[in-house]
Structure 1
Amino acid sequence: MGVPAFFRWLTKKYPSIVLECIDERPVDANGTPLPFDASGKNPNDIEFDNLYLDMNGIIHPCTHPENKPAPKNEDEMMIAIFECIDHLFSIVRPRKLLYMAIDGVAPRAKMNQQRSRRFRASKESQDKIIEIASIKKSMLEKGYRLPPEKEKEAHFDSNCITPGTPFMARLAKCLNFYIHDRLNNDPGWKGVQVILSDANVPGEGEHKIMDFIRRQRAQPHHNPNTQHCLCGADADLIMLGLATHEPNFTIIREEFQYNQQRRCEICGQDGHEMKECQGLDKKFDDHAPKKIEGPQKYIFVRLNVLREYLARDLEMPHLPFEYDFERAIDDWVFMCFFVGNDFLPHLPSLEIREGAIDKLVDLYKRAVSGAEGFITDSGIVNLERVQKIMKDLGKLEDEIFVKRRRSDMIFKQRCQDRRKSEIQSKIEDGNFEAVRQLRNTKLEEEETPDLVKLWEPGYKDRYYELKFSYTGDTYSRRLQVAKDYVRGLCWVLKYYYQGCASWKWYYPYHYAPFASDFINIAEEEITFEKRTKPFSPLEQLMGVFPAASSSHVPKPYAELMTAKDSTISDFYPDNFNVDLNGKKYAWQGVALLPFVNEIRLKQALKPLEHLLTPEESTER
């Protein structure tokens, strides 16, 4: 879920929800796992019934890890995936069910985010190659000693972890082999039902898991005391877990280490950025953050404890109607959508680090106390009550933007003062090379001018002109953006509680409206086209891949990405802008990619279907 800082905020506000996992699996002196029987009593004092694996959260770090050497080939990748599953199984020890879900074709609303990620990954990879070459050239000119050139290895394009690629087909075969081997040979797997939903089954992995849980809850024999454990690091898993209303729901995820610095990609040492590298002649790692040695550690996020916290924070005495905590939970999940998700950008006035969720909860309580009920009901939104919350938030927007500007200026001044102090200290020590680096770093961190200036009057006109290219009287168009956003909120809530309401719907803008633009939204009748179908795997590939990843699509289709006479070549720009939109880093910005037109895409692919091989045709 696209909510940066959500987990950090949540665990800081509700610290008792986190519990470190006890891991009894033995390893040898090199950290290699030893044979282990997971059929014994769970040392974490919980006997879990079901373990659900959101597999994409396992596949990505196993195939291209950040803080350790990458696997040399595909075989090593598969082994790393198997070992990760074994590790999780040894901690959780499910007694009844193991459900492994790989992302299939996603709803169109999610494909826009996938497209942005894949284009960014391709661009960053190409930019890094150029940057490393430039830095090395400069280092040689300064006489620095470089490490010997490594033998060039085949580059692993992580974009291949997308439904419809040959890699995903091979992965499914390997996982089937792995499952049969464990069921036949591992005593911990005895009696456990195993379900693998691979990339051929449409839907995001976590939502396929939620659909399964909803179906189980609807069965007459469902045990309400079932102990569920879901593995994954995305924030939306917390929301989805709460949305099940299961009383015993736990999330297991890797223990995140803050401020972990990556090794320099030139000299392989810690303690400095790549652009500060001085080669092998200088050792940097004396004061660097140390890497975690040994097996990856995991933590439990206990949603039953989070529910207790929320029961306290969402308490509303003296309501004019009967209070229902489960309904309040649903409303809290819905309110969190406003700070961002995978399908909608967050409202400009809402930032988690500024206490946005607490602010929304306060407005929510005020609105509900004066209303006749809650704002959601089993996946349906009461827009009249949402309108009241947005109206109250809109009244605070000017104050929020001014306060944000004041805080940013104070923070920048502190950083400047700290930098001046560091430079003066280095001058006094005679370390003029460090002084030069500090001054150069300052120049590199100069920010892109913020032309919207939300803290100054007239910001709405500037915002819509610069972000939406709207000029003149923008009132009616602003209301339309808000209506489209509201439609998106309704779609997301249905997706969380009922399943995909429409495979075709998506939010057609890169930016969100202001809260004060939500006017007369209660008059909107929100419906979605029924019986829509997802894209085929090959259509999704063509909708989310940049031209640099064309090797993963059939050759006849790949040519459409680069051919001058292609009717859809505009879907695959060689370059694109990233709007920082008030953020510091490019990964936080908005990738300004053109939206793919579904009709044009399918029209372009149709005449080429007869050129596909039999294997490729099965993905069509």
Structure 2
Amino acid sequence: MGVPAFFRWLSRKYSTIVVHCTEERSKECNGVRIPVDTSKPNPNEVEFDNLYLDMNGIIHPCTHPEDKAAPKNEDEMMVAIFEYMDRLFNIVRPRRVLYMAIDGVAPRAKMNQQRSRRFRASKEGVELVEEKSRIREEILGRGGYLPPVEIKERFDSNCITPGTEFMDNLAKCLRYYVADRLSNDPGWRNITVILSDASVPGEGEHKIMDYIRRQRAQPHHDPNTHHCLCGADADLIMLGLATHEPNFTIIREEFKPNQPRPCAMCGQKGHEIKDCQGVAREKQGEHDEFADTMPASEQEFIFIRLCVLREYLERELTMASLPFPFDFERTVDDWVFMCFFVGNDFLPHLPSLEIREGAIDRLVGIYKDVVHKTGGYITENGFVKLESVELIMQAIGVAEDNIFKKRKEDDVRWKLEAVAFKTDLLPDGLGIIICKDVCFVQAGSSDGQDGRGVKRKAEDSDSEPEPEDNVRLWEDGWKQRYYKTKFDVDATDDDFRKKVVKSYVEGLCWVLRYYYQGCASWKWYFPFHYAPFASDFKDIKGMFTDFELGTKPFKPLEQLMGVFPAASGNFLPQTWRSLMSNPESSIIDFYPDDFAIDLNGKKYAWQGVALLPFVDERRLRAALAEVYPNLSPEENKRNSLGSDMLFVGKSHPCCDFIQELYRGESHEVCKMPAELCHGIQGTLNLDEDPILPDKPVQSPIPMLRDIAQNTAIGVKYKDPQYGETFVFKAVILPGAKMPEKVLKPGDWERGNRGRGNWRPQLGFNSNRQQVHLDQSAFRALGYVHTTSN
């Protein structure tokens, strides 16, 4: 989810939702490693039923880690993925289901973000190579020392996209991994494993949610199933809440900011490549030469307990004197929806809403007022009531001007703090407050963090040149400048502004439907790089009716053409890639060699907006129609849509039933017997190249052994289907037992205390002399101060 600050904000405000995972380690006896017995009770003192792995969050750090040496080849990458999954299985120890979901072809709304990321990755890779070459020449030219260049092929992480040979190989390796663990690990003995690889359309986390929603609708579903979902994206928290399952936990790596990384030039830690001086490491001790080559410590994991988050939200969202019965489940859905306003993977966030500025708390306050006025909630089962949304937007719009001015004043204050720290005018633990034309030093937290919860360094103010901001939202005329700069239209062009607002309204409806009911349209997307202002949302009730029915996802190779830059064309068939680079190609404009990045008020390029042309689906399909006949049988196979696979071991109650299906050799779809599989329902179909008991499984990785005594069996699996008029009900199911409350009054107070109130006072320098910063300090930084009360 495109909200980098969301989890940090959430874990600070509701701190008790996070607990550290207890991880049992394997032991060694006489030089022999004794693996952990995951069939024993969970050391975290909770038993989970189902573990869901959003696999892309595992694949990326295992194939190109940031904190340690990268794997030497693809085989090592696969082994690293296996080891990572083993750690997660050891911590969670699911007793019923392990669901592994890899991102398949995404909806068009998501493809635009994927396109931006992949073009950026390619651009940054080229720039890094050029920068390293330039800096290396400079360092060696002045007699500096650098270790010899290690020649190895650069790993293009863009290959982690459906339709590539890498993803095809990964699917084969995971089939082997599952068969091995089902055959040899006692903790896997009775679990059902579902593998949804990249050939199955849909984002990984949304395939998981679709599975959960569909199982909930079945008569055999256990409403007290304890779910655990692994992934680092903030949207998993929203998705978990949206299921309305009472027992839902997220597991993710613990984020530790400001971890030192080795310089890409000299391999030493403590500086970035641009600051490398080419100084040989000074030997401090006997083992110093190995200091930077030792493996990095393993990342630790944390649990995010959504049942505790629900406790916090119930206290925060409860409203008295409502003209209708209060329904906490409905307020949870409304809260999830409002969080979309501050950013998501499918829409740019509104200019006036930033999490670090308290946007979500502001929205909650407005929401309570709107609910009282309208006499009802703003969403229902994933459908939006636009008249309520308009009231919220208008309330934000009234405050937009003040929000922009306050943002500027905060920015000036933080820069002044940096100057004061750098010149030793500001002792640790003091900040700055602006009052009319005077800037006072203020007492506050000494944790080295700014008011937005971000650690700041004294050199931040001048380490990079300030980006030019032509919009200047803090000055009168900001709306006119915004539309002229970002859209190249006049703000008085009401028709254009309504067009942007209409698309954004459609987007809000699409995203909420996606979270609660599944993909409403595979082809819809927001066709602009920027969002409108909240104050532009007028008369929106009739702007949306419904989405086009019957839309279908792209095929894998088609998606590659839609999201890849020409530099990653080697993952595509020869005649297809020529469409990306041949000047005569009818779609050559989709693949610019370079493109602008609009910092859009931010400081760093990765925070900016990549100004890439949007892909015209009609033109793309017309161009591909001419090269489709050139696909080889293997390429055609990679371009086809696949099926989920279900695996069980020999001791699983369902194993004999599946074996009978293969003996009968019937390729008709068969219903899964829920009584044999923890109430799981769906349909089964024979696999063309099945994993079968007593049939050896060949290892696709040379360094790993074949499975001679295989006891696993695999079959194609499909989720149970809804009826045509079915709507997912966002409610707690009958028979569900709500977890015991865990929050105490102190937890609530601690979670909401924040940074406390600043006390304005004069500051002192290191000689204990009083320091008074006035307008000259602002002028020294090039700012004209606006007064603030």
User: Are 2:644 and 1:612 equivalent residues in the alignment?
Assistant: no
Shift of 1:115: 0.2
C-alpha displacement at 1:294, in angstroms?
3.5
Tell me, what secondary structure is at the counterpart of 2:228? strand
Q: 1:33/1:86 Cα in 2 relative to 1: closer, same or farther (>3 Å)? A: farther
Partner of 2:259, secondary structure, is coil
Cα deviation for residue 293 of structure 1 reads 4.5
Deviation at 1:420, TM superposition (A): 4.1
Q: Deviations over 1:406-445 (max 9, x none)?
A: 00011112223333449xxxxxxxxxxxxxxx99997661
| SS in structure 2 at match of 1:250 | strand
Could you tell me which residue of structure 2 aligns to residue 98 of structure 1?
98
The 5 A counterparts of 1:394-543 are 394-421=397-424, 445-471=464-490, 473-543=492-562
Q: 1:275 to 1:440 in 2, by over 3 A?
A: farther
CA distance in 2, matches of 1:285, 1:271: 16
**Matched AA of 1:180:** A
1:13 maps to what in 2?
A: 13
Q: 1:241 to 1:462 in 2, by over 3 A?
A: same
Please show how residues 124-523 of structure 1 align to structure 2 within 5 Å: 124-150=124-150, 152-281=151-280, 293-421=296-424, 445-471=464-490, 473-523=492-542
> Larger helix proportion, structure 1 or 2?
1
The residue type equivalent to 1:396 in the other structure is A
Matched letter for residue 394 of structure 1: G
SS of 2:374's partner is coil
Q: CA RMSD in A?
A: 2.2
In the alignment, the residues of structure 1 paired with residue 123 and residue 315 of structure 2 have an alpha-carbon distance, to the nearest angstrom, of 46
The letter of the residue matching 2:40 is G
Shift of 1:148: 2.0
Measured in 2, the distance between the counterparts of 1:290 and 1:398 equals 52
SS at match of 1:52: strand
Q: Paired residue for 1:588, among 572, 583, 607?
A: 607
Distance 2:130 2:424 in 1: 34
1:71 aligned onto 2:42 = no
**Judging changes above 3 Å, is the alpha-carbon distance between structure 1 residues 588 and 33 closer, same or farther for their aligned structure 2 residues?**
farther
* 521-530 or 326-335, which deviates more: 521-530
Give yes or no for contact 1:550–1:561 (8 Å, CA) kept in 2: yes
Residues 269 and 284 of structure 1 are in contact (CA less than 8 Å); yes or no, is this contact kept in structure 2? no
Report the 3-state secondary structure (helix = DSSP H, G, I; strand = E; otherwise coil) of the residue aligned with 1:522. Answer: coil
Stretch of structure 1 that moved more, 610-619 or 508-517: 610-619
C-alpha spacing 1:303/1:291, structure 2 compared with 1 (3 Å): farther
Residue type of the alignment partner of 2:280 = D
The 1:153/1:526 distance shift into structure 2, 3 A limit, reads same
Question: Is 1:26 the equivalent of 2:26?
Answer: yes
Indicate conservation of the 8 Å contact 1:25/1:34, yes or no. no
The whole-number CA distance in structure 2 between the counterparts of 1:297 and 1:81 is 16
Quick one: which amino acid aligns to residue 47 of structure 1? E
Q: Is the 8 A contact 2:51 2:99 kept in 1?
A: yes
**Does structure 1 retain, via aligned residues, the 8 Å contact 2:57–2:231?**
yes
1:223 shift after superposition? 1.2
CA 1:543–1:283: 2 relative to 1, 3 Å: farther
SS at match of 1:72: coil
Structure 2 counterpart SS, 1:523: coil
Tell me which amino acid in the other structure corresponds to 1:368. V
Residues 23 and 91, structure 2, Cα contact 8 Å, conserved in 1 = yes
Asked if the contact 1:260–1:291 (Cα under 8 Å) also holds between the matched residues in 2, the reply is no
1:257-308 Cα shifts (integer Å, max 9, x gaps): 111121111111111121111223355999x999994332100000000000
Q: Does the 8 Å contact 1:17/1:303 carry over to 2?
A: yes
CA distance in 2, matches of 1:485, 1:285: 59
Contact 1:452 1:463 in 2 (8 A): yes
Letter in 2 for 1:378: N
One-letter code aligned to 1:609: Y
Measure, in 2, the Cα distance between the counterparts of 1:211 and 1:547: 34
| 1:426 paired residue number | none
The alignment's TM-score, normalised by the length of structure 2, stands at 0.74
Alpha-carbon distance change, 330 to 411 in structure 1, aligned in 2, over 3 angstroms: same
Structure 1 residues 339-372: Cα deviation after superposition (integer angstroms, max 9, x where no partner): 0000000000000000000000100011001112
Tell me how far apart the structure 1 counterparts of residues 278 and 61 of structure 2 sit (CA, whole Å): 28
Cα distance in 2 for partners of 1:307, 1:211 equals 22
Change over 3 Å in CA distance of 1:278–1:446 after alignment to 2: same
1:392 counterpart SS class: helix
Contact 1:271 1:284 in 2 (8 A): no
Q: Report the CA distance between 1:249 and its aligned residue.
A: 0.1
Write out per-residue CA displacement over residues 508-534 of structure 1, whole angstroms, 9 at most, x where no aligned residue: 000000000000001223210000000
Note the residue ranges of structure 1 that are not aligned, 5 or more in a row.
423-437
After TM superposition, the score normalised by the length of structure 1 is 0.94
**Matched residue of 1:266: which SS?**
coil
Residue type of the partner of 1:483?
K
SS of 2:302's equivalent in the other structure is strand
Distance in structure 2 (CA, Å) of the matches to 1:439 and 1:323: 49
Which residue is 1:561 aligned to? 580
Contact 2:415-2:461 at 8 Å conserved across structures: no
State the identity as a percent. 63
TM-superposition CA deviations, 1:125-166 (whole Å, max 9, x none)? 10000111111111122221111222x112111000000001
Give the AA of the match of 1:167: F
Q: Distance in 2 between matches of 1:342 and 1:439?
A: 33
* Contact 2:422–2:459, Cα closer than 8 Å, also in 1: no
Give the Cα separation in 1 of the matches to 2:390 and 2:143. Answer: 65
Letter in 1 for 2:527: P
